[in-house]
């Protein structure tokens, strides 16, 4: 799932996703005071734009230039509130302690032996800040041997919860029914959700 894969996937549709923010983000973040947010794998920008329109200053990162161009075009009303960034946060980690919210929505974060990519994302959360990590329920994600995709190769929210040190408190670690229909061509009915606050 490299940049070429995602560019080709976005180019295959005029609009790949709904343009609406993810339901878990809305449910879990609406009551938070705006601050600095990192949107990991921002895609066409719906989450970043929702955050910016509610007062957040957002750094939105993706490895697809096609997606970033679409996101920027959709967000002309939030100029100055969203920085659209091309990059791979699993190999070039964000600055530590810089974000009041790190939002990871359905981002395929490949498991690593030393958890380097994951640790970089965790370190980016400022003291008092929130990590929101959302995935698809693995029971609904079949392997695809034809292209080498194995769902269990990727971090799940509950696994990340188990890796958090004592400077975190876990607020939500659960599987819940989706609040909106799954994207076209998929059959996801449940999300796995981790919301944690960094204490120090």
Reading the block at residue 8, the tokens are: 């080709």
Digit-coded pLDDT (tens) for 81-90: 999 999 998 8
Residue with tokens 């995935």: 135
First to last CA, the chain: 34
98 pLDDT band (50/70/90 cuts)?
A: very high
Q: Would you state the pLDDT for residue 159?
A: 93
Could you give the CA distance from residue 66 to residue 68 in angstroms, rounded to a whole number? 6
**Which CATH superfamily does the domain covering 27-198 fall into?**
Vaccinia Virus protein VP39 (3.40.50.150)
Q: What angle do CA 144, 146, 150 make, to 5 degrees?
A: 35
Mean pLDDT of the chain: 89
Spatial neighbors of 15 by CB under 8 A, at least 6 apart, are 44, 70
How far apart, in Å, are the Cα atoms of 92 and each of 114, 117, 120, 145, 149?
Answer: 15, 8, 8, 29, 23
Lowest mean pLDDT, pick from 22-36, 51-65, 139-153? 139-153
* Top mean-pLDDT range of 32-36, 74-78, 108-112: 32-36
Reading the block at residue 81, the tokens are: 């509130």
- Domain chopping of the chain, boundaries: 27-198
Closest CA to 118 of 108, 127, 130, 128: 108
Percent of the chain with pLDDT over 90: 68
- β-strand pairing of 168-177 with 82-86: unpaired
Digit-coded pLDDT (tens) for 113-165: 889 999 999 999 999 999 999 998 877 776 777 766 788 899 999 999 999 99
């Amino acid at each position: 799932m490299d940049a070429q894969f995602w560019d080709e996937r976005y180019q295959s549709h005029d609009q790949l996703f709904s343009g609406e923010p993810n339901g878990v983000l809305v449910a879990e973040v609406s009551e938070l005071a705006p601050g600095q947010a990192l949107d990991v794998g921002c895609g066409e920008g719906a989450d970043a734009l929702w955050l910016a329109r509610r007062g957040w200053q957002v750094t939105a990162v993706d490895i697809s230039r096609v997606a970033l161009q679409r996101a920027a075009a959709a967000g002309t009303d939030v100029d100055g509130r969203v920085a659209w960034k091309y990059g791979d946060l699993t190999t070039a980690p964000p600055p530590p302690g810089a974000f009041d919210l790190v939002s990871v929505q359905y981002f395929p974060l490949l498991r690593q032996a030393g958890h380097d990519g994951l640790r970089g994302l965790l370190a980016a959360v400022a003291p008092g800040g929130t990590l929101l990590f959302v995935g698809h329920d693995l029971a609904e994600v079949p392997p695809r041997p034809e292209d080498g995709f194995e769902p269990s190769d990727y971090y799940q929210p509950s696994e990340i919860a188990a890796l958090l040190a004592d400077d975190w408190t876990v607020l939500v670690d659960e599987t819940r029914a989706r609040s909106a229909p799954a994207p076209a061509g998929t059959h996801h009915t449940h999300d796995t959700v981790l919301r944690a606050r960094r204490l120090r």
